[in-house]
Amino acid sequence: MLFFVSCGKGLEYLLVDECLALGAKSATAAMAGVNVEGTQEDALRLVMHSRLASRVLWPLHSFDCPDEAALYAGASQVDWGMQIAQNASIAVDAHVSGQGITHAQFAAQRVKDAVVDTMRREFDSRPNVDLQQPDVRIHLVIRKNKAILSIDMGTGPLHRRGWRQHQGEAPLKETLAAAMLMRGGWSASASGGLLDPMCGAGTLLIEGALMAADVAPGIARYPFGEVPTKWLQLDRKAWKRVVDDATARADAGMAKLPSLRFIGRDSDERSIRNALKNAELAGVAEFLDLQVGDVDGLKASLPADLPPSGVVVCNPPYDARLQADPALYRRLGNALRVSVPDWTASLLCGDMELAKATGLRATKKYQMFNGTLECMLIVVRPIQDARQAERPLTDLPALSEGAQMVANRIRKNQRKLKSWLAKDGVHAYRIYDADLPEYAAAIDVYNTVSPAQTWLHVQEYAPPASVPEETARHRLKELLAAVRDVFGVTRDFVSVKTRARGKGGSKYGQMDHRGEFLTVREGDALLRVNLFDYLDTGLFLDHRPIRTSIAEVAEDKHFLNLFAYTGAATVHAALGGAASTTTVDLSATYLQWCVENLQLNGLTGRQHRMFQADVMAFLREDRGMYDLIFLDPPTFSNSKRAQDFDVQLSHVEMLKLAMRRLSDDGVLIFSNNFRRFKLDEAAVSEFADIEEITPQTIGPDFERDARIHRCWRLTHR
């Protein structure tokens, strides 16, 4: 059974690992959650043990939902008498997006009406509504006119552990606290110490102690093994097995806590009192060392027998309400370097500027959300890293005149693109393309998610034969110094692909083999890229407008992606609501990449087909019909597994074959990057209407090189 586990944004990949560790058959990340394949017992195990999940949703019914009438009719199709007892209380939560139904409270009300009306007809009685503590909580999501009704297996937010009764001015959700601990390397097998120098109400320390003791969050949430929901289809025997196992693990794990050190300090005496009360309710107060103390006096306040290793976990103030102070972050960084230089730190900062203010060199960076507030988690391992003795980026020597000229041009481009990047939410884009002819390279920026980092992809263009090799190397060195200065990144975050002269002319040098895949967001899609191991990265940035336009028109259409590469267009079509997708490429590597891109977005099922085949042969043999076709061939191919292909020579036959597979009112989008390509309009117009749409498919970051590709829209005559 496929069910959904929701979580806070930024926690998806941690939650995937947790679901698999807790026994799920499979788990794939989606937006703000994970699609999980498993049994009801697997779902109940997550309700009991997950430290990251917000809700565990068991689906009952899915249906088309373009309007209010369809919502009521679809909800009425469920046999609610088999789901809810006559005397039970209910609540309905709703999340809606799209054009049809736009008001979540109204949608929840209509589902409630359908439940009540259905049960009244069957039993001549109706369930009560209890929004705070219902017996059964129903969950509705409507996206792109598709509705899913589910049972909330935990009957409410799972971040509520049951022990926090006292909180500070800016409480941290327990799920986010758990993520900070996990990112810092703290777990049930942790050793040494856990330190929070600004502990507030103690959430991080208490969550860390319970994690180390393997005490499941559900034990306090559902005391004495009470059921998490009174849904009639609940497998109570499975729940008892889950409870018995969790109880045994907790009993064994609590015996470990005396060997660990849990240390909390805070300058506010009231916060320390609240932390102690919460720790008492959680059953771990005797193991916590909680004292009033300022960060400047941290070292003096720590016990003499401090363990040699451990984790510092801290949520210093950072929002406008608490008046984030960079000086406080600097004091925190200094205190940690002096007090626990060999420990690991996991610090939740308001943004990258505040993170930099600590003076600590982050080993990893992760974008997370504290409620709706976007923030930056940095992991520093160890705090006083020997590598920090290296020259920091801010201390790079002054740029040469040539490098400064390149840096100025890149900054000018940044200013020009800034509003567009923010407005359209673009995270991967071209920032420089041989703007200065002497510095001939293309520079692409990839801002990744989980962790949130900036990576650069630099491709040097082959210099003319008249330019000495030594001069070309010097210019490339200046360009790299400029781009690192502008973006403030280390060498590890810059992929450089240079052309080396060899037999047969200029060619790219040998690629790296790092096996390092990164994830970027493009519109609603998450896509994997590899900046180091291949000539191309897995994402043709110039085709971004084409892909996003495909997503806008794909709903309910059968989509065919030819010469699909890594399937980015397939992902966009699927997220746009395509009824089916068919992806064709000759490379097994690229098809597997496409599969992973689909899984990354929670897109699985038989409606997504893959064919490793020569496109021309596929079009001759396939008998399917498609409403939307994307055809983006290479300039040429001489693969041993296919006939020689030349886009100029083959395009008329290829387009004719593709049009035979296009439905009567379908659209074929044809694009290619061959700069000298000339469409044979006379021949193609015999079987198709042609409209060139190239200007609409060139993004602002490629306006300087508008000949990067050409694109046409073909329909039946």
491-515 confidence digits (pLDDT tens): 889 999 885 444 444 455 555 556 7
pLDDT given at position 604:
85
What would the mean pLDDT of 558-569 be, rounded to a whole number?
97
What is the distance between the alpha carbons of residues 693 and 713, in angstroms, rounded to a whole number? Answer: 7
**323 plus 400 within the same structural domain:** no
The per-residue pLDDT for 357 is: 87
Q: Assign residue 559 the CATH number of its domain.
A: 3.40.50.150
Residue 384 sits in the same domain as residue 405 = no
Q: What percent of the chain has pLDDT over 70?
A: 93
d(CA 150, CA 148): 6
pLDDT, one tens digit per residue, over 588-620 is 899 999 999 999 999 988 899 999 999 999 999
Place of tokens 């693109």: 417
Range of the domain at 466: 393-508
pLDDT of residue 645: 84
Same domain, 491 and 615: no
Tell me if 366 is assigned to some domain: yes
> Is the pLDDT confidence value at 704 over 80?
yes
Residue 403 sits in a domain of what CATH number?
3.30.750.80
The pLDDT confidence band at residue 638, using thresholds 50, 70 and 90, is low
Q: What are the φ/ψ torsions at residue 664 (nearest 5 degrees)?
A: -55, -40
649-691 per-position pLDDT tens digit: 999 999 999 999 999 999 999 999 999 999 999 999 999 999 9
Kindly state whether residues 462 and 610 are assigned to the same domain.
no
For 85-136, how does the pLDDT look when each residue is reduced to its tens digit (9 = 90+)? 999 999 999 999 877 898 999 999 999 999 999 999 999 888 999 999 999 9
Q: Please determine, for residue 63, whether its predicted confidence score (pLDDT) is greater than 90.
A: yes
For residue 312, the model assigns a pLDDT of 98
The whole-number average pLDDT for the span 66-80 is 96
In a domain, 206, yes or no: yes
Candidate from 203-207, 311-315, 381-385 with smallest mean pLDDT: 381-385
pLDDT at 154 (0 to 100): 96
Residues 362 and 437 in one domain: no
Asked if 470 and 556 sit in the same domain, the reply is no
- To which residue do tokens 């939307």 refer? 628
Instruction: Tell whether 262 is covered by a domain.
Output: yes
Q: Are residues 399 and 259 in the same domain?
A: no
Same-domain pairing of 111 and 196? no
Question: Is 519 contained in some domain?
Answer: no
Residue 361 banded pLDDT, cuts 50, 70, 90: confident
Q: Is the full-model pTM beyond 0.85?
A: no
- Does a structural domain hold residue 212? yes
Q: Which CATH number is 146's domain given?
A: 3.30.2130.30
Under DSSP, the state recorded for 570 is H
Q: Is residue 477 pLDDT above 60, yes or no? A: yes
Query: How many C-beta atoms surround the C-beta of residue 228 within 10 A?
Result: 24
Question: Among positive and negative, which fits the CA dihedral 569, 572, 578, 582?
Answer: positive
Helix axes 40-49, 236-254, angle to 10 degrees: 30
CB atoms within 10 A of CB 503: 5
Given 460, 484, 508, the domain boundary residue is 508
| DSSP run (H or E) holding 594 | helix 588-600
Q: What is the DSSP string of 248-289?
A: HHHHHHHTTGGGSEEEEEES-HHHHHHHHHHHHHHT-GGGEE
- 705 lies in a domain? yes
Q: Is the pLDDT of residue 641 over 80?
A: no
Distance CA 266, CA 290 (A): 8
Instruction: Tell me: do 567 and 688 sit in the same domain.
Output: yes
DSSP 303: -
Residue 513 lies in a domain: no
Q: Which of 627, 605, 610 is nearest to 62 (CA)?
A: 605
Q: How is the beta sheet containing 373-380 ordered, strand by strand?
A: 288-292, 261-266, 193-196, 310-314, 344-349, 373-380, 364-370
Percentage of the chain surpassing pLDDT 90? Answer: 75
What's the confidence (pLDDT) of residue 389?
Answer: 37
Residues 425 and 551 in one domain: no
At residue 626, does pLDDT exceed 80?
yes
pLDDT at 388 over 60: no
Residue 474 lies in a domain: yes
* Residue 394, pLDDT score: 46
Residue where a domain terminates, one of 389, 418, 444: 389
Which pLDDT belongs to residue 513? 59
Q: Are residues 264 and 297 in the same domain?
A: yes
Mean pLDDT score of the chain, rounded to an integer?
91
Do residues 5 and 15 lie in contact, with contact meaning Cβ atoms separated by under 8 Å? Answer: yes
Average pLDDT for 199-223 = 95
In the predicted model, what is the mean pLDDT of residues 367-383?
Answer: 87
- Residue 454, pLDDT above cutoff 80: yes
DSSP output for 166-221: ---SSPPPHHHHHHHHHHTT--TT--SEEEETT-TTSHHHHHHHHHHTT--HHHHH
Give the mean pLDDT of 270-290. 95
Among the three residues 389, 407, 428, which one is the final residue of a domain in this structure? 389
pLDDT band at 170 (very low <50, low <70, confident <90, very high): low
User: Which of 155-164, 317-326, 460-469 has the least mean pLDDT?
Assistant: 317-326
Structural domain count, the chain:
4
Q: Is 321 a residue whose pLDDT tops 60? A: no
CA distance linking residue 649 with residue 144, whole number of Å: 41
**Better-scored residue on pLDDT, 398 or 57:** 57
76 and 126 assigned to the same domain? yes
- DSSP state for residue 329 in the 8-state scheme: H
Which of 186-200, 483-497, 511-525 holds the top average pLDDT? Answer: 186-200
